[in-house]
Structure 1
Amino acid sequence: MVDRFNVSACRNSLFRIHRFTAWNIFCNSLSQSPQTQLNNINHLQRKLKNTKHYKWLVFITIAIGTFISVVDHGSVLIALPVLQSHFGVELSSVQWVVVGYGLTISALLLPMGRLGDYFGKNRIYMLGMFIFAVASMLAIFSPNLTAVIICKILQGIGSAMVQANAIAIIISTFSSSERGKALGSHLSVVGTGLIIGPALGGLLINSFGWRSVFLVNVPVGILGILVAIMVLGTQVSDKIDFKENPFDWKGALLSSILLATILLIFGNGNNLGWSSYPIMIATGFAIILLVLFVRIENRIKSPLLDLTIFKNPLIGLGIMSSWISFFGTGGVRFIMPFFMQRVLHLDPLTVGLSMIPPAFCMVVFSPISGFLSDKYGWKRFTILGLTLSSSSCLLLSLWVSETSTLWFLIPMLMLQTAGNGIFNSPNNSSILNAIDKSKYGVMSAMTQLVRNSANVVSMSITTSIIVLSMALSGSSSNLDNLTPEMSGAFVSGLQITFLTLGIVLCIGLVGTIIRK
């Protein structure tokens, strides 16, 4: 399925380089100038580029960055209930650990993707890995929840650089006839991270406390940087000329503020009230920013985001369906650890282990779907994927309860994740195959922006529904020591949440059916 690719072949390609091995570079660097060291690294990269399996070496390099990001997110989700108890805060406060992270990524993805088109995707990618590792180290020493949130925001800056350029690097390396397979394999890495993240998080929290979920990022981050330097190199061959096509700083600034404002509205709507003055003012401000952004992008020579491409239904409806797909899964992944730990009284390790089978479905179905879509087209697989995801949410809305068992919950989550895996690689491949190579960076960033913004909005809406349900029953949103009445209100809100997500996924399914 991966054209005779295997780990052994890549290992031979990576380490059996005649004179310029990684070990030689390291030993010789002790007595060499920085410029000589850089030249040696670039020479090694050129050697690797001429090997048969170079495209898969690039894939492995990107997989490391993707893997560490997904594992971190999954581990932190399992840590949220522990952070809530440790710092004595409410659900609406602790959600900002993940919302702040997602908001930062969403706000910066487009500018970072476009900067990759200008300065080199490999350089922006490696800088992002460095920032992510430093932020993880700082998070270990956080004295309060605010410090944790700040470190996650800093992590978000690094993740934005990594995510915005990772897909662009992959699709620039693989031919159009192999992109479905490559993107599917990339999603299988995401699925593997989803398997290991919650399980590792639960194990680390049980054994060493919540700070350990950040510690594991540091050595993996360092490894990722070293491999990227060797495989991707530091030279750039396809960057855009600044003089002929000036960078759209106005568009970058407006898009970042606009996205941050929109996501802040969703993040604070529950606490402040959706009809409160701050929310209404922020909504008006967002509308003004949107109008300004559209006006600027339609007038300048080299816009941050060429809005005319969305007139193509293949791209416009594809982006919409992708957003809906992630919206339907983000809230579920966020709220299920709370439901399992607080209502079903399961320990963090059990909760983490219960997330393995659903994530395994993504590992299995994503590359299969991508491979088959390269041969038979994308449409039938995107329809099947959204059908499975929407069915899962609708079934959960009918039957989830305070007495639900893992024998029911895990198959439902597997159904949803399988649908998500089947849908996304063919859908993204169809979008990226429809654009010019000079826009790979920003459109790769767009596909990641869709995922992150949908997750943030989904988590915020999920929180709002749960909190409102508990408030209507006269209960606090602090989930420590739930009474039977509070558990009932929580489950009622959960049922409404699943119904809402299921209906939205059905809308996405209709968009996919009519897309041509």
Structure 2
Amino acid sequence: MRIATGPVPRITRSTNYKWWVFASVALGLYLTVTDQSGVNIALPRIAQHFGADLPAVQWIALGFTLSTSVMFMPVGRLSDIFGRTQVFMLGFAVFVAAALLGGSAVAFPVLIAAKILQGVGVAGIEANGMAMVADIFPEKERGKAIGLYMSIIGAGAVGGPVIGGTLVSLLGWRSIFAVSAGVGVVALALAAVVLRRGVSVENRQPAGTNFDWTGAGLSAIVLICFLLSITNGHKLGWYSPAIMAGFGIAAAALALFIWWEGKASAPMLDLSFFRSKVFTLGVSARFLSFLGGSAVYFLMPFYLVQGLDFEPSKAGLLMVPGSACIAFWGPFSGRLSDRIGTRWLTVAGMALCSIGMLMFARLDVDSSAWEIVVSIIVEGTGIGLFSSPNTSAIMTAIDSRKFSVASAFLNLVRTSAGLSGIAIFTAIVVFTMASQGFEPDLSGVSESGGNDVRLVFIAGMSRAFVVGAAVMVAAMVVSLMRPENPSVLDEG
């Protein structure tokens, strides 16, 4: 069975076909990353347009993240059953339709619904992008390919706020959705031409494979209850009945999910993945790295704008070197891991991240821009050295026919770790401020209170970064414990 009918384009017969596949996937990835960060920049204007308060506006980002997280695993499993290309392109179609709906929304609930729907489309795109890249490149080049894949994420993180901010300033917030829809159509057309062989049909699961609806439902309950509880714990109180009930339901559903996946004939998540030390320890290190790293990207903007009273434009520029380092070092570490292996690069990356976190912990109200930039460069370099080799090791440890569900699981680890980290580090800062008699809310940093409130906020931020450094050290130890995947060196 063929993916598309009609004559086979010259592109698919090219010796550089893998790079055409990469270009198609990279365009989709860049679009989703820039769209997410661009919409975040537009949130104040959206709130003003609809007259919505901050808790309501936060649901634009939270609803998107929840739907993406919940759909990652089911979409990954469907991709392995029915084909990656089909689900990848369907994800683009949903993304474009949701962008058009959001851009034309006349009621705030419609906009939230559009972002939730867009999250479903992004799950289809991101769950398959890494899988197709890992599959189309030979194993001896997999580190290089994944490194370039990570560089696209870094480039999108740099470009998103710039592109989004420019569009909002010149054309209004609706223009972000319009541009996303337009670029999405171009990306969908490119995928229709390029993704015709070698990345989907040959790696389908055997005919007749069933979809695990029970596992999908249980995983959705786990994620919804856990993510809602951990993102609202510091507001409602960690020991409040609602939060405790949420964590309790999540734990019970997780136990049922593990039991069911162990007995299901066609499980959504193949628990045999975790028999591999390379996979298990690699995933654990990935979770810890995103858990610790979330402190930087969440707390630093508050420190720069509210703590040091920098203009948002200057604060944004100071954050750029971190993303640029990820984009630069990702391909380098990926290529190097193809030659020397993955373990020591991941250890070195987490060591640098630990140092960077301790440098952040030393920042105060008198820190110069150069001190901040150097800290961000050290941390960004560490992430760049770690991410590509770690991901390459994980993907090499599993059967290529299950790349989509594995890729989806890795994306789920990223989003859940990021949200968990934000909740934990916010709680540390809030507790520090409340213990000194200040309003336990990060917005209090920008309100009246003189220099004292800034000093207390920065003290709490320093404690958070010390905890972040400890998390990065834990990730370094886990990476050190991970055995080298022998096939990487054998192929090199």
Both proteins in one fold, TM over 0.5: yes
Structure-1 residue corresponding to 2:118: 155
Cα distance in structure 1, aligned partners of 2:233 and 2:480 = 33
CA shift at 1:231, angstroms?
A: 0.5
Which amino acid in structure 2 is aligned with residue 431 of structure 1?
A: I
Change (3 A) 1:291 1:462: same
Structure-1 residue corresponding to 2:276: 312
1:112 to 43, 56, 75: 75
Structure-1 residue corresponding to 2:393: 430
Which amino acid in structure 1 is aligned with residue 186 of structure 2?
A: L
Residues 298-344 of structure 1 show CA distances to partners (whole Å, capped at 9, x for unaligned) of: 11222111112212211111000011111122232133333333333
Gaps of 5+ in 1: 1-36
The aligned runs of 1:341-360 (5 Å cut-off) are 341-360=305-324
State the secondary structure of the residue aligned to 1:355: helix
CA shift at 1:493, angstroms?
A: 2.5
The aligned runs of 1:124-203 (5 Å cut-off) are 124-142=87-105, 147-203=110-166
The aligned runs of 1:57-68 (5 Å cut-off) are 57-68=20-31
Cα distance in structure 2, aligned partners of 1:380 and 1:405 = 33
2:216 equivalent to 1:239: no
State the TM-score, normalizing by the size of structure 1: 0.86
CA shift at 1:215, angstroms?
A: 3.4
Which is worse superposed, 227-236 or 325-334?
A: 227-236
Which amino acid in structure 2 is aligned with residue 138 of structure 1?
A: L
Which amino acid in structure 1 is aligned with residue 479 of structure 2?
A: T
1:54 to 8, 11, 17: 17
2:409 equivalent to 1:442: no
Change (3 A) 1:136 1:208: same
2:351 equivalent to 1:384: no
Cα distance in structure 2, aligned partners of 1:339 and 1:80 = 20
Residues 89-133 of structure 1 show CA distances to partners (whole Å, capped at 9, x for unaligned) of: 34x665443333222222111111110011110111111112222
Number of equivalent positions: 474
CA shift at 1:291, angstroms?
A: 1.3
Residues 374-397 of structure 1 show CA distances to partners (whole Å, capped at 9, x for unaligned) of: 011001110111111121112111
Structure-2 residue corresponding to 1:490: 457
Which is worse superposed, 175-184 or 213-222?
A: 213-222
State the secondary structure of the residue aligned to 2:201: coil
Which amino acid in structure 2 is aligned with residue 364 of structure 1?
A: F
Are the equivalent residues in 1 in contact too, given 2:431–2:440 (CA < 8 A)?
no
Change (3 A) 1:55 1:64: same
2:325 to 348, 361, 383: 361
CA shift at 1:448, angstroms?
A: 1.3
Which amino acid in structure 1 is aligned with residue 270 of structure 2?
A: D
Which amino acid in structure 2 is aligned with residue 488 of structure 1?
A: L
When the two chains are superposed, the root-mean-square deviation of aligned CA atoms in Å is 2.4
Cα distance in structure 2, aligned partners of 1:460 and 1:145 = 26
Cα distance in structure 2, aligned partners of 1:414 and 1:80 = 28
CA shift at 1:402, angstroms?
A: 3.0
Structure-2 residue corresponding to 1:17: none
2:294 to 330, 336, 340: 330
1:456 to 411, 419, 442: 419
1:255 to 219, 224, 229: 219
State the secondary structure of the residue aligned to 1:298: helix
Structure-1 residue corresponding to 2:5: 39
State the secondary structure of the residue aligned to 1:194: helix
Are the equivalent residues in 1 in contact too, given 2:137–2:145 (CA < 8 A)?
yes
Task: Report percent identity of matched pairs.
Answer: 35
Cα distance in structure 1, aligned partners of 2:186 and 2:131 = 21
Residues 184-206 of structure 1 show CA distances to partners (whole Å, capped at 9, x for unaligned) of: 01111111112211222333344
Cα distance in structure 1, aligned partners of 2:464 and 2:42 = 22
CA shift at 1:177, angstroms?
A: 0.7
Which amino acid in structure 2 is aligned with residue 266 of structure 1?
A: I
The aligned runs of 1:251-290 (5 Å cut-off) are 251-290=215-254
Which amino acid in structure 2 is aligned with residue 287 of structure 1?
A: A
Change (3 A) 1:82 1:489: farther
Cα distance in structure 2, aligned partners of 1:214 and 1:301 = 42
Cα distance in structure 2, aligned partners of 1:482 and 1:507 = 39
Cα distance in structure 2, aligned partners of 1:336 and 1:100 = 24
Which amino acid in structure 2 is aligned with residue 239 of structure 1?
A: R
Cα distance in structure 1, aligned partners of 2:113 and 2:454 = 32
Cα distance in structure 2, aligned partners of 1:273 and 1:124 = 40
CA shift at 1:263, angstroms?
A: 0.9
State the TM-score, normalizing by the size of structure 2: 0.90
Cα distance in structure 1, aligned partners of 2:39 and 2:357 = 24
Are the equivalent residues in 1 in contact too, given 2:154–2:327 (CA < 8 A)?
yes
Gaps of 5+ in 2: 484-492
Structure-2 residue corresponding to 1:408: 371
Residues 139-168 of structure 1 show CA distances to partners (whole Å, capped at 9, x for unaligned) of: 334567655443332221111111111111
Change (3 A) 1:282 1:98: same
